[in-house]
Every structure is written in C-alpha cells, then in structure tokens.
Amino acid sequence: MSVISDQKSEVRSQKPEARSQKPEARSQKPEARSQKPEARRQKPRNTNPVPLLSVQNLRTSFHTRNGIVRAVDGVSFDIEKGQTLGIVGESGSGKSVTCYSLLGLIPQPPGKIEEGKALFDGRDLLAMSEKELRTVRGKRVSMIFQDPMTSLNPFMRIQDQITEPLIIHDGIDKETATKRAIQALEEVGVPDAPRRIRQYPHEFSGGMRQRVMIAMALITNPELLIADEPTTALDVTVQAQVLELIKEMQRKHGTAVILISHDLGVVAGFVDKVNVMYAGRVVESGPTREVYYHSKHPYNEALQRSIPALQTKGQELYTIPGAPPDLARLGAGCAFAPRCAYVQDACRSGELALKGVAENHESACRRVQDKEIQLSVNSNQ
Amino acid sequence: MSSEMTDPNTTAPASAASLLEQAEKGQSLWEDSWHRLAKNKLAVASGVMLAVIALFCFGSWVIGLDTTTQNLDMGAQPPSLKHWMGTDVLGRDVFARVLFGGRISLMVGLLATAVAMCIGVVYGTVSGYFGGKIDALMMRFVDILYTIPFIIFVILLMVFFGRNIWLIFIAIGAVEWLTMARIVRGQVLSIKKEEFVEAARALGLPQTRIIFRHMIPNVIGPVIVYATLTVPAVMIFEAVLSFLGLGVQAPDTSWGVLINEGASAIEEYPWLLIFPGIAMSLTLFCLNFLGDGLRDALDVRRSKD
Amino acid sequence: MFRFIAIRIAQAIPVLLIISVVTFAMIKSVPGGPFDKEKKVPEEVERALNEYYHLDEPFVNQYFIWLGNVMKGDLGPSTKYPNRSVNEIIGAAFPISLQLGVMGIGIALTLGLLAGVVASMRPNTAQDYIPMSFAMIGICVPRFVIGPLFMLMFAIQWEWFNASGWFFWSDRVLPALTLGIFYAAYVARLTRGGMMEVLGQDYIRTARAKGAGEARVILRHALRGGIRPVVSYFGPAMANLLAGSFIVEKIFAIPGLGTFFITSISNRDQTMILGTVLFYSVLIITLNLIADIVLIWLNPKLRFDEQ
C-alpha cells in the first residue's frame, strides 16, 4: 500500500482505490484494515495511524427526578478515517446518546457529560466551548437523524436548509451555495433538482426527505458522518435504497460513518466494524463478520438468535428473557447478568471492561475473557 | 431485535369489553389529575385565596354588613383603623363596598360563564358527535357569529334595554359560548376517533349512553379549564361595561363601578381606585393561576390544543 | 388564495346586512327620538327635522333609504349635529383611534414577542420567571386599573406626561401603554409557549447539528413556527383592541371614535350609531380576514390546500 500525500480536504477524492471498501464487508478480513496506512500530514509511513475519532471512557448521565440515569457508562471506541462503524443496541442502550454527546447535542440541564474524552483530529470535542463545537458541527462532523419528517424544518424551503451549512461555515454566497446544493441533490438522486429545491419538505416523500438530509449533511464534505437510525422510519423498500445511497456517498467522499441502529440486518451489510451496546456500555466490538458469526458476548449471542428471519418457521420465536435494566439503578458488575444464560455469582460484582478475546475482537464478558465459556458459532446464513 | 411477540388470542368482543372497562376505569385518572393539581402549590394557593375572597364577599351578605349608610359629613377619608380601606365621597365604608361589589362581580362571572358553558357544551357536543353536514352547518353558524363585534351589541343592548343585571348575565354568556362550543367540538371530534367509542358501539350501546357516560366525561376536562379562564374574562367584560357607565345600577355596585368612581377621583382620593383595583386584580390572578394549574394537571391525559 | 378572499367577502355581506338591520331595529324600538332630550323645539321646526331625517316614514322605508345612501358611501348627517355628516365625524375621530390602536399593537408585539422569546430560551430559570411574572400582572390587572394608576404615577405625581388630551407626542405614551400591556402580556405567554414547543422539535436539533448558533436557530428556524399561536390569537384580538380603546379613550379623554360612539348612544344619534356600528363591523371583519391570510401564508402546508 503506497503512501498517499495529503492535501487537506482533497484527501478523500484522491484515495478511492486505496480505500477500497469492498461492497461485501463481511468478507473483509480483519487484517486487511491494519494494513492500510492512513497518511496524515506530517507522518509519512504509519502502521499505527492516529484514528479520526477516539472516544475514551465517555460517561453521560441525566439527572432526573427519579435519579441519575447513566445513559452512557464508560464507552470507548476508535474510528479511523474513512472507516465505517456500526453501533447496535436496543432503545435505551445509549447508542444515540453517545453520539449526541460527541457533538454537544445533549440538553445540558438534565444531561451531563460526566467524564471522558473525544479526540477528533487531536482536539477533545468534549472539552470544547459551544462556539468551538459549532465550527465542527455540520462542517467536519455531520449528523443525520431518524425521522426525516420531523427533522427538516417544515417552514423553510429545501434550498434554504441545504445551503445553510455552506453559508454558516464556508461563508459562501447564496448563489454559489444554491448551485452546489442543486448538485448535491442530484448526487443523491433527487430528480428534477433545480425545481424541487424550491419546494418545502412536506412535498417530498419519506425516502426523498432522507436523501435531502444526506445531501445536507454531506455538502460540506465532513470527515465523519453520524447516521442515527436513518432508515428506521422508512418503508422497507426505501430502507435499502437509502442505505445504498449512504454507502455510495461514503465510498465517493471517503467519509467515515458511524451507523447507529437497533436493526442488526441494516448494520450487517454496511459497516466494517460493529460495537454492540447494552445498558450504556459497549459489550462487544469487532469486525462485522466476526461479531455476527462468532459472538463473544452472551447478549450478542442472544441477539443473533432472536433475529426472526433466521429462525425456523413454526417454532416459537426466541426472545431474550427479562427486560432491559433501569439505567437509574445500575448495580455493580455486568448489566446483562439478570438475563444471561451463562451468569455466575462473580458476574454480579466488580468492574467490567472490554478486553480483546480474539483478533481485533473485544468482549466485556468476564467469562469469555477468562476463556471459561465458548459461545456458539452462529451458522445463520 | 425485532422479536416482538403479539398475542393472537384476543377475540373481538373480549377486547372491546376490556377496552371499555379501561375507559370507564379511566375515571380514576381523575384522581391522577387531582394529585397533579395538588402538587402545584401556586394553583392550590390560588384556589384557597379564591375561597377566602368568596367567603368574604358572600359572607358579608349573610352577615348583613353595612354598605349603604352614608355619612356625608365625613366624606372621603383615607384608610384608617376604623375604615380599613377608607371611605368614599359619600362617607360609605370602602371595605364594605368592595365586598359588596365583589359579590356582584363574582356572581356575574360565575353565572355568565355557566350560561356560556351550558349552551357551548351542548352545542359543541351535538355538532361534534353527529359530524358531517350537521357539524359543518353548525360550525358555519358559529364562524359567522364570531365575526360580529359583540361588544358593540352588548353596549347597545345595555343602553337600549336598560341596565338589568340579568340581561348582563345573558348578554355576556351569549357572547362567550362560541369559543366554548368550538373547544368542546374539537374534543369530541378527537375522542370520537378513539377506540373505546368503537368498542362501545360494537357492544351495541345506545347513542345517549355513549354521549353521556363516555364522551362528556372526557370532554369535561378542557371545559373546566376553559370555564375557569372564562370567568375572569367575563368579569372584565362586566367591569368594562360598568366603567363605561353601562353596567349595574345603583344602589348595586360592582368592582367595575367602584373602579370607575375611583378613576374619576384618582387625584384626590387614590384609595378609591386602589383597593377595588387590588381586589379585582387579585381575584383575576387567582382565577388565572388556578386555570393554568388545571390545564397542566389535566394535560397529560389529553393532547394540548 | 383569491377564492378564499372572495368567499369571505361574500360571507361578510349578509352578515353586515343583518347587523345593520338588527341595530336599526334596536334603535327604532326604543321610545324616544333624538330630539326628545332637547329643549322643546317649536312644532314646525320639529316637523322639518323629522322630514329631513325621514323620521315620519315607516321604519322599513327609513331603513332602505339609509341603505341606499350607504351604497353610495354616504352614512348620512348626524342626527345630533345636522351640519356634520357621519362620514365627517368618523373621518375625524377614527384616525385618532387608529393611531392609538396601532401604537398599542406595536407595544403589544414588540414587548410581547421579546419577552416571550427571551423566556423560552431558558425555561424555568430567572430569565423565564421574571418576564412571565410581569406578563401575569399585565393580564390580571385590568386596563381600567392600570390606566388611572399610570396617570396617577406618571402624569400627576411625577408630571412626566399630560394626564389627558391628544395634542403632543408625549400624550400618546400612557394611553398606548395602557392599551398595549394586556396584549403584550398575552402575546408574551403565547410566544413563550409556541417557542418552547418549537424548540423541542427535531428540526431544531438538526439546525444545531449543522452548526447554527443560537441567534440563527431562534430567528431563522424557530420563530416562524413559534409565533403561530400569536398570529391566530391576534386576529380576533385586534377586534378587542379596538373595543378596548373605548376605555382608554375615556380614561385619557381622547377624542377617538370610541368616545363618539358612546356619546352618540346617549344622544340617540341614530345615524351616528348606525354608521359607527357598520364601520366597526367592516373593520373587524377585514382585520380577521387579514389575520387569517397571514396565518395561511405563514404555514406553507396550508398555502397549498386550496388547490
């Protein structure tokens, strides 16, 4: 792999080949990744590149009348430039709050970022002032949200909304910005863009609206795109299209993507790496194929088992017994203990941390770490 | 994670009955709202204050507090130990006058609101329940009435037909029912769509029972809130009339009349305006806070308009 | 849009007719003509006057004569002041009321919107409680209490302004404030509510995620939706604003239309009463229509409904 010289924001457009994200992410071997040196400005050859984003021990909680809800309880992960990371978990697992915390989008009276660092290009997002954060939001890190119906301003024309990041961050005049906006719309596949750009959100269908959001998020060529459940509110057929679009954009612009979802299927076909979250913590992390076929955490194993489409017809559907924990009352030890098929007394106390249990594959399960148990290999295919 | 398990075991009548049961049990949600209201200290304090004011005003009638004896020698005196709020130009004790005026003002407020409520609730329920053409027609009527500048009419009425206190109730009530009808209709429409109405119909309940046992209790919430907020509006309306010299006639008095008298003498005897002004403002304050509190307490159960 | 306006105008006409008929009937049904209160006038003079005003003809005729004139834009001579026409009186008095009303609206909107937006930015803090407390006071203390109190404080005690009259620019201040404060308070509450609801919406989060600063979020994104309750309130409110000016005009002795209306009633000045009622009605209907148009314009979804 050759070193590619770097020029600020043209990095992306110059590295389509080197970054070859094979469409079938599943077949990508874990080793392949570490052999792609990410060239940065003054570091010529590098086998241990500085990640684009490095989250370290993030803790976010909400101080409510019913107690302190520990929504994110010690989350750490890295994402490299141009890499795609999937964060999966049920509602309340903290996956969205993690990413919102990074951009300071948590309402800070009830919410509070208790601890943690989020190093983005060397600077800690969590330590930035609101003013500094605003230079990052929408410019270097963009976000798209779950419900395109409510995420676009119903009172503003699409044109005004898409051009806004350009106007805010790059100080571009309205005319030029509009031209670029039209281009962006065409890129995401909105037909008749010059006319439709003058329309209002309610004149677009759900899938189209999400395309608009994608265009809006990528128009400043951000280095990282966070997609929070981008397909959940859409029809199934449209879901596939939108995912394809994100994939395509990601390939084209070399944007790193964090894809948040509760839907394992959505994440599987798209990302290089997966973090499985439960009760505000990352319980398993690894390359997509490994995480899906060789679960290293009981929760993940249970998840894989409960995918309806992969179960035998006529049999009762498998559900994980119990219910998600009350995040205001997390005890010591493993949060999944009450529902775990492999639980032991020792699981209920002590600190748990992610540890590598296989090549590039980490798990927070004590028993797996100690090699006490071997979880089943999933043959769902 | 989509491993939802839906229970395919419910049969139609059984689920209808259970829905109905839940709705009827929903009366216990009243207790919920009550608790929420009780927690709102401001609303509770207002309620208490209102009770106190009402007690004074109506109690003074029962006691027979002297409000009319004039003492022309004394004339208007500033507040003193004997006359807590001073005396007016004719030597009458202002405190007694304020209580007397309060009686009338409150009565007008309550009665006119009651009139508006009755007309409005019935009209709105009928319109909303039957829907379709009837509804369209009824609401069109309301829309037209809305455009008429009522204050003008009430003024004319007062002038031409005499300043009869009953006429005032009716005239004001007849003006205020429009909004009440609209609110009620809106509620009825949104409730109609809810499942328990379907359930009731599926069980074959007669229409009247549906209206009375199911719709009206659910509609009452916003009605109460709006009524609590209408009373102050009505009181102001009456006071406006009085201020313009078109309200209640002597020897009756209301806060509006008292304030009017006070306004003309504001330079020499400011207390004649200040005390009735405070009394009225305080009452309006309490009514508004109570109304707000009620709205918040009942709010979670139904969506905000 | 034009269809909408046309329909509303078409609806208004029968309403106006009915109003005029009812008013006319009310006036005529009360015993006592306009001249009864005067000193006894000689019979010939009285007969002449009655003829001039068509008072000797059957009521129905009188009405249609009046209506005919109205179509031509002539509201007739004042019954009380025969040498002045109703048009003239309204023409002189209305601009004054209008000025008062407009200033009141200006105060209501500026103070109200400002207070409401500021309060909505930091709910449940001092920034919220203080303006909203003032707003509560503005709502609960009636105009006819505030007016005289202002007069007492600012005009009489401190002598910053004149207590009455409408001559100098400073004369406008107290009346406009008195008129506007209640509406400012109401607008403040409505704005706060509307803004808070909007600020909790997803699209505000999107705007922030794009890097928009507070000013931009509030002014460009939130305000348009946030002031909707204000607009829907303001239409009918404007009608009340006009009627409320009766009170303010009385307190501060302003020669506006309200004052003339009230006196015309006591004077049984028939043509004046009819003319004013008609005038007010047209005014209010027009204002409501404008308010509705603004509401539709503000909400893009509604704009397309007509198609």
Contact yes or no for B208/B126 (Cβ under 8 A) = no
Residues of B in contact with C265 (CB under 8 A): 155-156, 159
Identify the residue with better confidence: C8 or A260: A260
Amino acid at C123: P
For residue A138, the chain C residue with the least C-alpha distance is C210
Going by DSSP bridges, is the β-strand pair A53-64/A67-79 parallel, antiparallel, or unpaired? antiparallel
Confidence of residue A231 (pLDDT cuts 50, 70, 90): confident
Contact between C281 and B148 using a beta-carbon 8 Å cutoff: yes
Confidence of residue B280 (pLDDT cuts 50, 70, 90): very high
pLDDT of residue A338: 86
Q: How far apart are CA B268 and CA C116, in angstroms?
A: 38
Residues of A in contact with C301 (CB under 8 A): 154, 200, 202
Residue whose C-alpha is closest to residue A214's, from A277, A158, A273: A158
- Could you report the per-residue pLDDT of A122-155, keeping only the tens digit for each? 889 999 898 999 999 989 999 999 888 899 998 8
Nearest to A154 among C207, C213, C300 (CB): C300
Give every CB contact of residue C293 below 8 A, 6+ residues apart in sequence.
Answer: C1, C4, C5
Residues of B in contact with C154 (CB under 8 A): none
Question: Which of these ranges, A5-19, C113-127, C232-246, has the smallest mean pLDDT?
Answer: A5-19
Confidence of residue A378 (pLDDT cuts 50, 70, 90): low
pLDDT of residue B4: 33
Is residue C62 left, alpha or beta, with left meaning phi > 0 and alpha meaning psi from -120 to 50? alpha
pLDDT at C291 over 90: no
Q: How far apart are CA A23 and CA A244, in angstroms?
A: 10
Taking the CA of residue C156 and the nearest CA in chain B, the distance in Å comes to 7
Taking the CA of residue B300 and the nearest CA in chain A, the distance in Å comes to 17
| Percentage above 70 pLDDT, chain A | 86
Helix (H) or strand (E) holding A291: helix A288-293
* SS3 sequence of B257-271: HHHHHHHHCCCCCCH
Amino acid at C257: L
Q: How far apart are CA C131 and CA C115, in angstroms?
A: 6
Residue whose C-alpha is closest to residue B214's, from B15, B25, B5: B25
pLDDT of residue C36: 57
pLDDT at C268 over 90: no
Count of residues making up chain B: 305
- Could you report the per-residue pLDDT of B18-65, keeping only the tens digit for each? 565 555 554 555 667 777 777 778 888 888 988 888 888 888 777 776
Residues of B in contact with A318 (CB under 8 A): 3
Contact between B156 and C26 using a beta-carbon 8 Å cutoff: yes
Contact between C151 and B266 using a beta-carbon 8 Å cutoff: yes
Q: Which of residues 12-41 of C touch B (CB under 8 A)?
A: 12, 15, 19, 22-23, 26-27, 29-30
Residues of C in contact with A168 (CB under 8 A): 210-212, 216
pLDDT of residue B183: 83
Contact between C15 and B159 using a beta-carbon 8 Å cutoff: no
Helix (H) or strand (E) holding C242: helix C228-251
SS3 A137: strand
pLDDT of residue C40: 58
Contact between C202 and A151 using a beta-carbon 8 Å cutoff: yes
| Percentage above 90 pLDDT, chain C | 18
What tokens appear for B124 in the block? 């709105």
Contact between A152 and C203 using a beta-carbon 8 Å cutoff: yes
Helix (H) or strand (E) holding C140: helix C126-140
Residue whose C-alpha is closest to residue B283's, from B221, B214, B241, B232: B232
What tokens appear for B50 in the block? 């209102």
Nearest to C145 among B148, B161, B281 (CB): B281
A263 at B interface, C-beta within 8 A: yes
| Percentage above 90 pLDDT, chain A | 31
Contact yes or no for A354/A362 (Cβ under 8 A) = yes
pLDDT at B228 over 80: yes
Question: Which of these ranges, A35-39, A206-210, C159-163, C186-190, has the smallest mean pLDDT?
Answer: A35-39
Interface predicted TM-score (ipTM) over 0.85: no
Confidence of residue B67 (pLDDT cuts 50, 70, 90): low
Q: What is the mean pLDDT of chain A?
A: 81
Confidence of residue B196 (pLDDT cuts 50, 70, 90): low
SS3 A59: strand
The count of other CB atoms within 10 Å of the CB of residue B86 is 20
Distances (CA, A) of B11 to B17, B22, B200: 10, 17, 15
Give CB contacts under 8 A, 24+ apart, made by A306-314: A306/B1, A306/B3, A307/A264, A307/A265, A307/A380, A307/B2, A307/B3, A308/B2, A308/B3, A309/A265, A310/A380
B259 at C interface, C-beta within 8 A: yes
Confidence of residue B8 (pLDDT cuts 50, 70, 90): very low
Distance of CA B19 to the CA centre of its chain: 33
Identify the residue with better confidence: C301 or B55: B55
Going by DSSP bridges, is the β-strand pair A281-287/A361-363 parallel, antiparallel, or unpaired? antiparallel
Contact between C140 and B144 using a beta-carbon 8 Å cutoff: no
Count of residues making up chain A: 381
Residues of A in contact with C297 (CB under 8 A): none
The DSSP code sequence of C53-117 is TTTTS-HHHHHHHHHHHHHTT---B-SSSTTSBHHHHHHHHHHHHHHHHHHHHHHHHHHHHHHHH
A196 at C interface, C-beta within 8 A: no
Q: How far apart are CA C167 and CA C292, in angstroms?
A: 35
Q: How far apart are CA B93 and CA B71, in angstroms?
A: 9
The DSSP code sequence of A208-264 is HHHHHHHHHHHTT--SEEEEESTTTTS-HHHHHHHHHHHHHHHHHHT-EEEEEES-H
Residue of C210, C298, C299 to mutate for A, most A C-beta atoms under 10 A: C210
- Could you report the per-residue pLDDT of C142-158, keeping only the tens digit for each? 888 998 998 888 888 88
Contact between A303 and B5 using a beta-carbon 8 Å cutoff: no
Residues of C in contact with B152 (CB under 8 A): 243, 277, 280-281
Contact between B1 and A264 using a beta-carbon 8 Å cutoff: yes
Residues of B in contact with A306 (CB under 8 A): 1, 3
- For the whole model, what pTM was predicted? 0.76
Give me the mean pLDDT over the B215-235 stretch.
81
- Could you report the per-residue pLDDT of A155-199, keeping only the tens digit for each? 899 999 999 999 999 888 889 999 999 999 998 888 998 999 999
- Could you report the per-residue pLDDT of C21-80, keeping only the tens digit for each? 877 877 777 665 555 555 555 676 667 666 766 666 777 777 787 787 777 777 777 776
What tokens appear for C142 in the block? 């009636």
Q: How far apart are CA C186 and CA C182, in angstroms?
A: 6
Contact yes or no for A3/A39 (Cβ under 8 A) = yes
Question: Which of these ranges, A116-130, A201-215, B231-245, has the smallest mean pLDDT?
Answer: B231-245
Identify the residue with better confidence: C295 or C202: C202
What tokens appear for A119 in the block? 């190093």
Cross-strand partners of A60: A72, A113
Residues of C in contact with B289 (CB under 8 A): 136
Residue of A150, A155, A170 to mutate for C, most C C-beta atoms under 10 A: A155
A318 at B interface, C-beta within 8 A: yes
Taking the CA of residue B5 and the nearest CA in chain A, the distance in Å comes to 8
Neighbours of chain A (3+ CB pairs under 8 A): B, C
- Could you report the per-residue pLDDT of B126-164, keeping only the tens digit for each? 887 777 888 888 888 887 777 676 666 776 676 666 667
pLDDT at A31 over 70: no
Distances (CA, A) of B231 to A215, B53, B224, B287, C49: 53, 15, 11, 8, 47
Distances (CA, A) of B184 to A39, A106, A365, B171, C237: 68, 39, 58, 21, 21
pLDDT at B170 over 60: yes
Task: Count A/C contacts: CB-CB distance under 8 Å.
Answer: 69
Confidence of residue A28 (pLDDT cuts 50, 70, 90): very low
pLDDT of residue B9: 43
Residues of C in contact with B267 (CB under 8 A): 152, 156
Identify the residue with better confidence: B39 or A81: A81
Going by DSSP bridges, is the β-strand pair A53-64/A111-120 parallel, antiparallel, or unpaired? antiparallel
Contact between A150 and C202 using a beta-carbon 8 Å cutoff: yes
Peptide bond into B251 cis (omega under 30): yes
- Could you report the per-residue pLDDT of A93-119, keeping only the tens digit for each? 889 999 999 998 988 888 889 889 999
Q: What angle do CA B119, B122, B128 make, to 5 degrees?
A: 130
